[in-house]
Amino acid sequence: MSPRAWSATLILAVIGAFSLSVWLGSVDLTIRETLAAFTGRGDTSIRQIVVELRAPRAVLAILVGGGLALAGAVFQALLRNPLAEPYILGISGGAATGAVLALALGLAVSHSWALPIAAFVGALLAITLVLRVAAAADDRVDVRVLLLAGVVVGAFFTACLSFVLSISDARTVRSAILWMMGSLAGADWVTVMTVALYTLPATLVLIGLARPLNLMAIGEETAGYLGTNVERVKKVAYVVASLLTAAGVAATGIIGFVGLIVPHGVRLVVGADYRMLLPLSFLAGAVFLTLADVVARTMLSPIEVPIGVITALVGVPLFLLLLRRSMGSTSWW
């Protein structure tokens, strides 16, 4: 199919995934009841379930899934590493440390907004430290230095996280582990609007970097000759993609594999042209996470499985399949 056909297909898939998400759940609803709820008719309790619980959850899944997939595609381009994903530079460690501190101090109990804010602040701290460490080594944004800085900062926050968990009570440890597995259960329209304020502008900025990223894929020196400010592009791409990831993590916890496998799958279909790869990665990530959330809610209903577990269970075999296809050989099996 042509890129336009893939775009239309994925847009329809996003609409379909959203429809499934608001229809399916622990409470069985008919299609007619679901449609009536959106038009303001029908039973009040059903409208509450559809409009106030399921709809914001579905929209949040679209925003976070799309944002993680887009950030993953940008990091893979920026770091020239096919295994790069949104958490590779220590963002998840910083966010987890902030969230666990909020839980350990009891802030999340008295203030519902404390947990996402603490996670976001922790992610911002990780982003700042990585940039500072990388800048101390070289004024330019060297990919190797950036990766090493990410590893060091990630290890530091992992140690902090382990320390806090080791001195916390069992309830705090359980809450922290569940948060780190990821969940969309707390979604409401306020959360959706907050995440949208970060995600939508960041998405436009990153998609706007498609042409410079295409030139940089040829070579940084060549891109510079063709008028691209390489260092500026790398800094903007890193900061914006990191903030996009931080917003998603703060709202839903750490959800893995979305930013790793989705860009790979899209790249195999449409190629490495970032003008198509970036927007299609956003759409594909939105579909993937929304459907994963539907499975998480319905697989063992009324028990909800952490969405990070679902993305990992689906992501591992999908990644192996994509790897097999990209190698063009079955001998490694």
**Residues 250-267: tens digit of each pLDDT:** 999 999 899 999 998 899
Look at residues 78, 115, 64, 69 and name the one whose alpha carbon lies nearest to residue 239. 78
- CA 251, CA 185: separation in Å to the nearest integer? 10
Measure Cα distances from 241 to 245, 253, 314, 318 in Å. Answer: 6, 17, 24, 24
Question: pTM value?
Answer: 0.91
CA distance 123 to 143: 20
The C-alpha atoms of residue 93 and residue 122 are separated, in whole angstroms, by 8
Topology given in CATH for the domain delimited by 3-326: ABC transporter involved in vitamin B12 uptake, BtuC (1.10.3470)
How far is residue 8's CA from residue 228's CA, in Å, rounded to a whole number?
Answer: 31
Instruction: Report the amino acid identity of residue 241.
Output: A
CA dihedral 97, 98, 100, 101 (to 10 degrees): 110
- Buried b or exposed e, range 13-41, using 16+ CB within 10 angstroms: bbeebbebbbbbbeeebeeebbbbbeeee
Q: How far is Cα 333 from Cα 318, in angstroms, rounded to an integer?
A: 14
Give the CB-side neighbour count of residue 303, counting CA atoms within 13 A.
3
Average pLDDT across the chain, whole number: 88
**Contact by Cβ (8 Å): 276, 263:** no
Beta bridge mates, 303: 300
Whether residue 302 is preceded by a cis peptide bond, meaning omega within 30 degrees of 0, is yes
Write down the domain spans for the chain.
3-326
Neighbouring residues of 121: CB distance < 8 A, sequence distance ≥ 6 = 98
- Backbone phi, then psi, for 300, in 5-degree steps? -120, 35
Contact, 187 vs 56, CB < 8 A? yes
| Cβ-contact 203, 282 below 8 angstroms | yes
Q: Which pLDDT belongs to residue 331? A: 37
Whole-angstrom CA distances from 209 to 6, 24, 80, 120, 230 are 21, 37, 16, 24, 11
The predicted structure's pLDDT at residue 300: 86
**Exposure string over 136-156, b if 16+ CB within 10 A, otherwise e:** eeeeebebebbbebbeebbeb
Helices (H), 105-255: 107-110, 114-137, 143-166, 170-181, 189-208, 210-218, 220-225, 230-252
d(CA 186, CA 253): 11
Rounded to whole angstroms, the Cα distance separating 191 from 168 reads: 28
Give the pLDDT of residue 329. 43
Distance in angstroms (rounded) separating the CA atoms of residues 66 and 58: 12
pLDDT by residue for the chain (333 residues), tens digit each? 777 888 999 999 999 999 999 998 888 888 888 888 888 777 888 889 999 999 999 999 999 999 999 999 999 998 888 778 889 888 999 999 999 999 888 887 677 788 889 999 999 999 999 988 887 766 677 778 888 888 899 999 999 999 999 998 888 898 888 888 999 988 899 999 999 999 999 999 999 999 999 988 888 788 888 888 888 898 899 999 999 999 999 999 999 899 999 998 899 888 889 999 999 999 999 999 999 999 999 988 788 899 999 999 998 888 888 777 766 544 333
| Element at 270 (helix H, strand E) | helix 258-270
